[in-house]
């Protein structure tokens, strides 16, 4: 088990390394470098100044050399300064990561709270009217463009009804208390959890239907266990296993979704930070933001695999993972 | 196909998709018939409500919303279909190679596919979409052209879309390669590629068709997200995604502008997904719902 864990952690580090190199190279290809931007802002700048600034920023050196410099200081814990915010990159990331974690955590919670009863209702009578209605809703959930759902929610709850704020983290007039924060989180969490609720419900439903056909369910029913108890104690426990894997696999799309949701609702989290950094040529911040998102996703994946092994005694990880 | 028509949901989905595709294809004719131009800016008639002249009203520059939606549909649907074809094509080749040849190649390819599925793709795509093509040595006119941005979008979305098809094709290749007719072909001394293409591929068409159909939906969604974020189709060329970008700022004055393009994306994606699901049920009785 510990060898499996070590192997997977090494693999994760390797993926992050490849990703950092690839992203660094790509960021170098983005329109305009910091010196171009400085030059554009100052009409008195001479070509000699530009050349001097390029040397100062190290932009005259080849990209792989710059990457190695970045890597060696990153390994020493120095991730550089953000150009947009004029702050150390790490400060911004540690400031904004909690917002995203809160958003994703709440969405996962909502997704499970809704998906569990929905899947149970659907699986009770497969093909029946309840099942068909839930199935159609699931299709709607996976097919709705998240940013459009956000717009619709804003139109309904902020523009028309005026019940909830259209964006932001807290109201300027509010007391900044937890209730105010919660009001600002409702629409983002609903937006982010829509697709997840749908995916979980569908998977859980088919897992439940499969489990309900097993012999031990018939045994439980035959010995007179009430149907409710059969569902929760016997079927659900086993049907939840694939959902654990799904949560791990789905983290990547939740992070992607967080980018859209945070941008739509002006939540200062990692997603919006990455988007703003890429759009604003803030290389250092964009790079670290992307790597943080990727690392969190990969670690979440690993966590789901470990939880799966913990929950299902039949699974034993050998040193060759995934084989 | 004939059996699909018996399924009311699949039939409805096909009808909706056919209507959308036809409307988009004949957009220029409809423009002519209405005597309007989708690009015509009319600043005296900004944000007008629906009227006989403009059935869905006009947008922030006084352009007819209905015609913009049709033009946007041309772009969104053609990007969606072509990127889905490219992605499923790549996925099919990789899945065939992986499943038929097996071994280390299989392990490596599937590890990459899993990696692509697991990573947060949107942040990575944003970086790829923001790359300045002229820094790759393309002449600036080519790099800035509309065609380049379309091709770039198709490439980006295909990069994300192939793993699902590859996994499905690999799975059916693995089961097909054990079958007698493949054994027979191997005994006759045919080359692995000939067997893979002539004997395995035709029998794997079912799952490939399902994967391709479902990927159209995902691609249309991805295109709309990227265009919405300003990284896909760039204005003035309309796409359903970028029409929503402008609508976002006018949400208090004209929520109508935000509702229509999104509705069309939603209807397209739902129809494609329902159709793909119905296809899968027909092709693989084990997953049938009833």
Q: Select from A143, A290, A322 the Cβ nearest to the Cβ of B269.
A: A143
- Alpha carbon of A120 to those of A137, A207, A241: distances in Å? 15, 10, 15
Q: Which of A45, A22, A148 is nearest to B267 (CA)?
A: A148
pLDDT of residue B4: 62
Average pLDDT, chain A: 83
pLDDT classification of A113: cutoffs 50, 70, 90: very high
User: Is the dihedral angle over the CA atoms B138, B144, B150, B152 positive or is it negative?
Assistant: positive
Q: Select from B120, B225, B269 the Cβ nearest to the Cβ of A297.
A: B120
Q: Cβ of A139 and B273 within 8 Å?
A: yes
Tell me the C-alpha distance between A26 and A164, whole Å.
40
Q: Cβ of A148 and B229 within 8 Å?
A: no
Tell me the C-alpha distance between B131 and A276, whole Å.
15
Single pTM value for the model: 0.84
All residues of chain B having their beta carbon less than 8 Å from the beta carbon of residue A166 are: 251
pLDDT of residue A34: 66
How many CB pairs (< 8 A) connect A and B? Answer: 141
Q: Touching check for B259 and chain A: CB below 8 Å?
A: yes
Range from A191-195, A252-256, B138-142, B254-258 that averages highest in pLDDT: A191-195
Tell me the C-alpha distance between B101 and B108, whole Å.
12
SS3 assignment, position A79: coil
Residues of chain B with pLDDT under 50: 287-290
Query: What is the 8-class DSSP label of residue B133?
Result: G
Q: Cβ of B115 and A140 within 8 Å?
A: no
Q: Select from A30, A146, A293 the Cβ nearest to the Cβ of B120.
A: A293
All residues of chain B having their beta carbon less than 8 Å from the beta carbon of residue A248 are: 118
- Alpha carbon of A153 to those of A159, A173, A195, A243: distances in Å? 9, 23, 15, 28
SS3 assignment, position A98: helix
pLDDT classification of A12: cutoffs 50, 70, 90: confident
User: Is the dihedral angle over the CA atoms B45, B46, B50, B54 positive or is it negative?
Assistant: positive
For residue range A219-229, list pLDDT tens digits in order.
888 888 888 88
- In chain A, pLDDT over 70 holds for what percent of residues? 92
For residue range A19-44, list pLDDT tens digits in order.
888 888 888 777 766 677 667 667 77
CB contact burial B10-38 (16+ within 10 A = b; e otherwise): beebbebbeebbebbeebeebbeeeebeb
Q: Cβ of A278 and B126 within 8 Å?
A: yes
pLDDT of residue B198: 83
pLDDT classification of A114: cutoffs 50, 70, 90: very high
All residues of chain A having their beta carbon less than 8 Å from the beta carbon of residue B132 are: 29-32
pLDDT of residue A103: 92
pLDDT of residue B5: 62
- Alpha carbon of B198 to those of A64, B32, B90, B169: distances in Å? 45, 47, 17, 15
pLDDT classification of A319: cutoffs 50, 70, 90: very low
Q: Select from B123, B252, B290 the Cβ nearest to the Cβ of A159.
A: B252
Tell me the C-alpha distance between A72 and A310, whole Å.
38
How close B129 gets to chain A, by Cα (Å)?
9
> Are B80 and B223 a contacting pair, CB within 8 Å?
yes
pLDDT of residue A169: 75
Q: Which of B59, B3, B123 is nearest to A292 (CA)?
A: B123
All residues of chain A having their beta carbon less than 8 Å from the beta carbon of residue B122 are: 255-257, 259-260
> Are B223 and B239 a contacting pair, CB within 8 Å?
yes
């Amino acid at each position: 088990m510990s060898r499996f864990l070590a192997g997977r952690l090494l693999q994760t580090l390797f993926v992050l390394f490849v990703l950092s190199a690839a992203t660094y190279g790509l960021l170098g290809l983005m329109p305009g470098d910091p010196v171009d931007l400085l030059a554009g802002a100052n009409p008195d700048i001479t070509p000699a100044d530009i050349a001097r600034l390029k040397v100062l920023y190290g932009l005259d050196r080849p990209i792989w050399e710059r990457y190695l410099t970045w890597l060696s200081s990153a390994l020493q814990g120095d991730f550089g300064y953000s150009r947009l915010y004029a702050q150390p990159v790490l400060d911004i990331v540690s400031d904004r990561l909690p917002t995203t974690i809160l958003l994703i955590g709440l969405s996962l919670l909502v997704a499970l709270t809704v998906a569990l009863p929905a899947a149970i209702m659907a699986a009770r009578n497969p093909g029946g009217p309840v099942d068909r209605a839930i199935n159609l809703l699931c299709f709607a959930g996976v097919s709705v463009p998240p940013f459009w759902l956000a717009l619709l929610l804003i139109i309904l709850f902020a523009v028309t009804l005026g019940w909830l704020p259209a964006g932001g983290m807290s109201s300027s007039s509010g007391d900044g208390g937890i209730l105010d924060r919660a009001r600002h989180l409702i629409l983002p969490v609903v937006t982010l959890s829509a697709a997840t609720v749908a995916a979980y419900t569908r998977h859980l439903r088919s897992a439940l239907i499969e489990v309900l056909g097993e012999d031990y369910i018939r045994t439980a029913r035959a010995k007179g266990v009430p149907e409710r108890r059969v569902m929760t104690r016997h079927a659900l426990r086993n049907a939840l296993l694939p959902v654990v894997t799904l949560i791990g696999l789905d983290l990547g799309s939740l992070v992607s979704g967080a980018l859209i949701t945070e941008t739509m609702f002006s939540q200062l989290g990692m997603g919006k930070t990455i988007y703003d950094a890429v759009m604003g040529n803030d290389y250092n911040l964009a790079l670290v933001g992307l790597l943080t998102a990727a690392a969190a996703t990969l670690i979440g994946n690993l966590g789901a695999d470990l939880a799966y092994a913990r929950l299902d005694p039949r699974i034993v990880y050998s040193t060759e993972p995934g084989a | 196909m004939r059996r699909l028509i018996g399924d009311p949901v699949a039939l409805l989905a096909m009808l909706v998709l056919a209507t959308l595709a036809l409307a988009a294809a004949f957009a220029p004719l409809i423009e002519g018939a209405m005597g309007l131009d989708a690009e015509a800016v009319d600043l005296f008639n900004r944000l007008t409500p629906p009227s006989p002249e403009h059935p869905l009203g006009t947008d922030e520059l006084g352009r007819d919303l209905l015609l913009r939606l049709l033009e946007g549909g041309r772009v969104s649907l053609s990007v969606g279909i072509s990127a889905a074809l490219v992605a499923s094509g790549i996925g099919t080749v990789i899945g065939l190679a992986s499943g038929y040849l097996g071994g280390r190649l299989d392990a490596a390819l599937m590890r990459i596919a899993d990696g692509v599925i697991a990573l947060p793709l949107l942040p990575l795509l944003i970086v790829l979409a923001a790359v300045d093509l002229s820094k790759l040595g393309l002449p600036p006119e080519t790099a800035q052209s509309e065609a380049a941005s379309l091709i770039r979008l198709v490439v980006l979305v295909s990069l994300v879309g192939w793993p699902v098809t590859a996994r499905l094709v690999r799975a059916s290749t693995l089961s097909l390669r054990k079958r007698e007719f493949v054994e027979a072909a191997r005994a006759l001394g045919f080359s692995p590629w000939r067997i893979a293409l002539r004997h395995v591929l035709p029998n794997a068409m079912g799952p490939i068709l399902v994967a391709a159909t479902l990927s159209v939906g995902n691609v249309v969604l991805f295109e709309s997200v990227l265009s919405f974020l300003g990284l896909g189709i760039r204005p003035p060329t309309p796409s359903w995604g970028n029409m929503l970008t402008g609508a976002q700022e006018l949400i208090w004055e004209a929520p109508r502008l935000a509702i229509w393009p999104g509705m069309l994306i939603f209807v397209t994606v739902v129809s494609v997904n329902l159709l793909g699901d119905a296809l899968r049920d027909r092709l693989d009785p084990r997953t049938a719902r009833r």
